[in-house]
Every structure is written in structure tokens, then in C-alpha cells.
Amino acid sequence: MKYVLGAKCVKCGKEYPAVPSLTTCACGGILDIQYDYAAIRRDFSPRELARNPDCSMWRYRPFLPVEETTPPPPLRVGWSPLYRADRLGAELGLKRLYVKDDGLNPTASLKDRASAMAVAKAREAGADTIACSSTGNAASSLAGNAAAAGLSTYIFVPSRAPKGKVAQLRIFGATVISVDGSYEDTFELSRAAIDRWGWYNRNAAINPYLSEGKKTVTLEILEQLGWQVPDFIALSVGDGCTIAGAWKGLKDLHSAGFIDRLPRLIAVQAEGCCPLNRAIQTGKPWQPMEENTLADSIAVGVPRNPDKALAAIRESNGLAVNVSDEEILDAMRLLGRTQGVFGEPAGVTGTAGVKKALELGLLSPDSTVVSIVTGNGLKDVHNGIRAAGEPMLVKPSMDALLSAFAEHHITPKERNSLL
């Protein structure tokens, strides 16, 4: 790991060597991987990067804490599309909007970036078994990435996890422990089991390498924008590891001289579960909240990475925006109808927050904004149908079709006549 200096506690500043099975500091604080940016700047540049044919997160190896000899895990993670979203932008009244569809990763969420990193580090540690607890996506992505690399997984999910995600776990051959309790209960049980059996730990708030994987999402966004820095990057927040990773990626690029300024973050949480945003809004320490939202991936009442997440929002002079479940369902329809992008509820929550921030006047219509869609809608078809409704049901006859159209006030479009 040519450019890694070590790991440093975000709470007390204690430093550790970057061994593969690193967890938290003795004080309980979360560690942060440190790099030699002067050396990265010396050896590596945007121009050099442009010549790299690797279309995956591993194209950013100089910024990643893996040994040169560690093979990239088999599934192709990263390099998801960044779409210029003009139709959605026009509808929201925003001049330049981009949508980064991270639901197009191999197991259909941004979590693949962290899980691929977990698999790489588990191999370095010589582990053959990995475990985690998750609201769903960290679990399914770990199960998939581990299966492809021939590692076993023990996965703890709350029993409320959507069926699509649980089906992924079973298909990928994980041992699934569905916990009859909250996400907090699930997390605590996984922690005890990992302690007992010594599995490699893929809990993002404990293993500091995972946010290094997640940060590749912002490395990519900036490269895809030709290193033109957007004004804002919006994303949904649960435990806070994703936003912390996104911010780390941006700071890396800034420190290595790839970009000359930093965007502001828009942290979006659900009104019914927004402990981190509430801390930003009130200026008080965060307090646990109920997990009261249909956006299961961000229904996190006790966030596991509050320090890094709050620091990311504050350091970026970011916005903290809360949205209702209705606004989340509306964003699902909006993204689908205007851009052909189908996100799960937490996947579109960032976009719902952009709309809300414009309505509240927190965001100027002249801003350049990137909204990250963090997970695919097919994982949670129940809420997809809830957002968009059931289709009309017709008997297979033209008469039935005509009366169904009449009933639904649909005037079929005629084909455009040619001149």
C-alpha cells in the first residue's frame, strides 16, 4: 500500500498501522485511513487516469487501501452512469442536474463499493468467512461479492427487510439470520456473534476500509464531470457511512490536486427518522429516533457512524434536508417518468431532498447539482407499486380496451403523420 500512511482515530487521534483486520480504536472511536497525498500527486494525475482502461472502482487504486498484489474481487463494481438529467431538472426548476445511478452495480446498490473492498481486505487478512448486519443492501452486496470470491457469509438483517433483498441473500448462498427486532437489535446481535466466532467484520461503522470503497462514488462523479466541480452533491443518509465516504473521496481529490474546490453536500433523511439532520438543525448532540419511514435502507434510529457523517455535513457547509414518505414516493415516480431511472425509496431520497431544498429556497435554480441514486427499485417492488399504483386490467378485446381507456380518461395518441 504505497500511499497509505496508517489509520487515525477520529475521536482521540491515536494512530494505528493499517493491518487488514482493523476495527475501531481502543477509545471506541472510528478510524480513518491516512494517505500521503504529496506522493499521490507526484505519481498520479487526471491525465494518467484517463489512460486506464479499467472501468470499475479499482481504477482509483492509488487512492485505495489495498496491497498492489491483492487481486480485484471478481464482480464488476463501480463506473455506474452519470446522466445529465435535463427533463427532471426542468421539472424541478434546476438548470444543471445530474443523476448518478448506483443502482446499476452488480447487486444493485452503492453498497457494492464497500463490499468489494471488504472482500479484498478479508482475502488480505486470510479470512474465509465474512459477517455483517444491515438494513438489507450491505447484506445482499456482501453476500454477492463474497460468493463470487468463494468466501462464506453470515448475514444479520431485521425481519422487516424487503423481500427482494432477502431473496438476493438466499440466492447468493448466505447464512441469513433474520432478527425479530429493530436494526439496532440486529447490529448488536451481529457484533456479539462476530466477537464469538472471529469472522471478518463488514460492519461499515466498525471496519474503516469500507468507507474507502464507498468514496469511489465521488471519485467517479468528478472524473465523469471532467473534474468540473458541481455546487452540490445530494444523497440519502442512514448510518452515515455513505456520506462520510463521499466526503472523503472529495477531500482526497482536493488534497491530491485533482480539483481546486469542494462541493457542498446535501444530506437527506426521512422526517420519521432523521437523528443526524436533527443534530445539524438544532446544533445539539444527536439523539436516537424511532425508525419510522418506508425507506428501509435509511431507517436507522441509532446511526453507527455519527461522528464522520456530522463532520462531513459541517465541513462541506452542507444542507440537512428532511423529506416525508410521500415526498419519497413522489421522487420515485418523478425519476422514473422523467429519466427512466427506477430507485428504491432510500435510493431516490437524495433526489426528493433536492426538490425540497429548491422549494424551501435553500438551493438556487442556477446551481449545478449531482443526485446519487443509491439503490435499485426492483429490490423493493412493494413500494414501487405503492408509489405508482396498479395497472388497468382489461379483457383481451378491443371493446374492453376502449372502455378501459375511457374509464381512465386516456385518449390514445395517433401516430405522427409524415409530411
Ligand X SMILES: *Cc1c(COP(=O)(O)O)cnc(C)c1O
DSSP-derived 3-state class of residue 158 = strand
Residue 118's binding partner, choosing from Zn ion, ligand X, none, with beta-carbon cut-off 5 to 8 A by kind? none
> What track of x and - describes contact with Zn ion for positions 229 through 258 (by CB under 5 A)?
------------------------------
Complex with ligand X: residue 241 or 370, whichever CB lies closer: 241
3-state SS of the chain: helix, strand, coil percent to 5?
Answer: 45, 15, 40
H helices of 159-305, where? Answer: 163-171, 183-197, 210-214, 216-224, 241-255, 275-282
Partner from Zn ion, ligand X, none binding residue 14, C-beta < 5-8 Å depending on class = Zn ion
Is the CB of 12 or the CB of 167 nearer to Zn ion? Answer: 12
For ligand X, the closer CB: 130 or 259: 130
Instruction: Tell how strand 319-323 and strand 264-270 pair up.
Output: parallel
Give the one residue of 15, 19, 27, 52 binding Zn ion; rule: CB under 5 A.
27
Can you tell me which residue has the cell 374492453?
Answer: 400
Interaction of residue 11 with Zn ion, rule CB under 5 A: yes
3-state secondary structure at position 14: coil
Are the C-beta atoms of 151 and 174 separated by less than 8 Å? Answer: no
The interface with Zn ion within residues 68-87 (CB under 5 A) comprises none
Q: Choose from ligand X, Zn ion, none: what does 218 bind? Cβ within 5-8 Å by kind.
A: none
Among 12, 55, 171, 360, which residue sits at the site for Zn ion (rule: CB under 5 A)? 12
Does the protein bind Zn ion through residue 22 (CB under 5 A)? no
CB of 312 to ligand X, least distance (A): 10
Nearer to ligand X, 378 or 402 (CB): 378
Q: Which of 4, 7, 9, 204 binds Zn ion (CB under 5 A)?
A: 9
- Which one of Zn ion, ligand X, none interacts with residue 11, CB within 5 to 8 A by kind? Zn ion
Q: Which is nearer to Zn ion, 32 or 325 (CB)?
A: 32
Partner touching 27 among ligand X, Zn ion, none, CB below 5 to 8 Å by kind = Zn ion
Of the pair 65, 238, the CB lying nearest ligand X is at 238
- Which spans of this chain sit near ligand X (rule: CB under 6 A)? 109, 111, 137, 204, 236-243, 297-298, 300, 344, 346-347, 374-375
Instruction: Compare residues 144 and 347 and give the one whose CB is closer to ligand X.
Output: 347
Nearer to Zn ion, 31 or 331 (CB): 31
Please report how close the Cβ of residue 349 comes to ligand X at its closest, in angstroms.
Answer: 7
Could you tell which of ligand X, Zn ion, none binds residue 257, using a CB distance below 5 to 8 A set by kind?
none
Least Cβ distance, residue 1 to Zn ion (angstroms): 22
Task: Report the residue closest to ligand X, judged by CB.
Answer: 375
Residues 6 or more apart from 39 whose CB is under 8 A from it?
2, 3
C-alpha cell at 36: 500521503
- Compute the Cα dihedral for 402, 405, 410, 415 and give only its sign: negative
- Nearest residue to 50 (alpha-carbon basis) of 41, 42, 60: 60
Q: What is the DSSP letter of 231?
A: S
State the CB neighbour count (10 A cutoff) for residue 409.
6
C-alpha to C-alpha distance for 202 and 416, rounded to whole angstroms: 55
Nearer to Zn ion, 25 or 146 (CB): 25
- Smallest gap, in angstroms, from Cβ of residue 240 to Zn ion? 18
Beta carbons within 8 Å of 226's beta carbon, 6+ residues apart: none
**In angstroms, rounded to a whole number, what is the distance separating the alpha carbons of residues 113 and 142?**
10
Q: Find the shortest distance in angstroms from Cβ 4 to Zn ion.
A: 19
Cα 325 from Cα 387, distance rounded (Å): 10
Q: Output DSSP code: residue 117.
A: H
222 close to 63: Cβ distance less than 8 angstroms: no
- Other Cβ atoms less than 10 A from the Cβ of 403: the count is 13
Within 155-194, which residues bind Zn ion (CB under 5 A)?
none
The binder of 25, among ligand X, Zn ion, none, by C-beta within 5 to 8 A per type, is Zn ion
For residue 113, the minimal CB distance to ligand X (Å) is: 11
| Residue 248, amino acid | K
List, as own/partner pairs, every contact residues 40-45 make where C-beta atoms lie below 8 angstroms and the sequence separation is at least 24, other chains included.
Answer: 40/3, 40/256, 41/256, 41/257, 44/256, 45/258
Residues that bind Zn ion (CB under 5 A): 9, 11-12, 14, 25, 27, 29
